[in-house]
Amino acid sequence: MIIPALDLINGNVVRLYQGSYLKKFNYNVNPLLYIKNYIEQGAKVIHIVDLDGTKNYRKRQIKLLNNLCKNINIITQIGGGIRTKNDIEILLNAGADRIVIGSMAVKKSTEVKEWFVNFGPEKIVLAIDIKIDNNNFKKVAINGWQQISNITLEDIIEQFQSFGLKHVLCTDIDRDGTLIGPNIKLYKEITKKFPDILFQSSGGISSLKDIMLLRDSGVQSAIIGRALLEDRFTFLEAKECWQKG
């Protein structure tokens, strides 16, 4: 499945290069109209990141998110600075279907496991952002990618499997926002190791050829942001390419 992605700052659609707020590009588009355009082309899921909420939970764009959720009829997964049970409840009440959890899974894993119990694994997507070293250790990046932990992707998945972990969004941070192509080797490896996990890929997609390679890598979904925003191909073209597999 192709999942279009929108990153939002102060109500505006933006893209960051490798997660840096200093390398930000603004797109002068209305996020609701953009999502409706994706829906018209057949989108079933939308991925939204509240970058204001990521930096400061007090600045979460809850009114905007609530408006978006109320006016669309597809699965909405939202992330950005989720730190507490209350944060999850606020977003679910706003209409989100899935909540994307990142650094907290490393920093406060016991608390996140409680969220799995309280809300159910279907409601939670673990976003595991990794940096791969020369020994192929997939170390998890936290705190907006400012810190590389000693925890590996495999460690995180194994920790949460007994709590029903279902959705994992895996990003190779060296690829994100770069348009240099996804890490196909990574996705083939992890989908083979964890066949029961529904993996979402993210980072680096620039062409329909990339989509074809991802389609055959074992991932359940491909999240695409910049390439769609820059009209390298349409959502419909991406969807049709994925469905040819």
Give the pLDDT confidence of 40-91 residue by residue, as tens digits.
Answer: 999 999 999 999 888 777 788 999 999 999 999 999 999 988 999 999 999 9
pLDDT at 31: 95
Distance between CA atoms of residues 79 and 47, nearest Å: 8
pLDDT given for residue 54 in this prediction: 80
Tell which residue, 57, 58, 39, 46, has the closest CA to residue 13: 46
Residue 129 falls in the annotated catalytic set: yes
Cα 108 from Cα 99, distance rounded (Å): 16
pLDDT at 94: 93
For the stretch 235-241, contacts whose Cβ atoms lie closer than 8 Å and that sit 24 or more positions apart, written own/partner, are: 235/2, 235/4, 235/37, 235/38, 235/41, 235/42, 235/43, 236/41, 236/42, 237/208, 238/2, 238/208, 238/211, 239/2, 239/41, 239/42, 239/43, 241/208, 241/211, 241/212, 241/215
Write down the catalytic residue from 7, 50, 52, 87. Answer: 7
Give the active site residue among 87, 129, 176, 210: 129
pLDDT tens for 172-198 read 887 666 677 899 999 999 999 999 999
Judge whether residue 144 has pLDDT over 90: no
- For residue 33, what pLDDT is reported? 93
52 an active-site residue?
Answer: no
pLDDT band at 20 (very low <50, low <70, confident <90, very high): low
- Residue boundaries of the structural domains of the chain: 2-243
How far, rounded to the nearest angstrom, does the alpha carbon of residue 240 sit from its chain's CA centroid?
Answer: 21
pTM of the model: 0.92
Domain at 2-243, CATH from 3.20.20.70, 3.40.50.1400, 3.40.50.300, 3.40.50.12280: 3.20.20.70
pLDDT at 17 over 70: no
pLDDT tier, 18 (very low <50, low <70, confident <90, very high otherwise): low
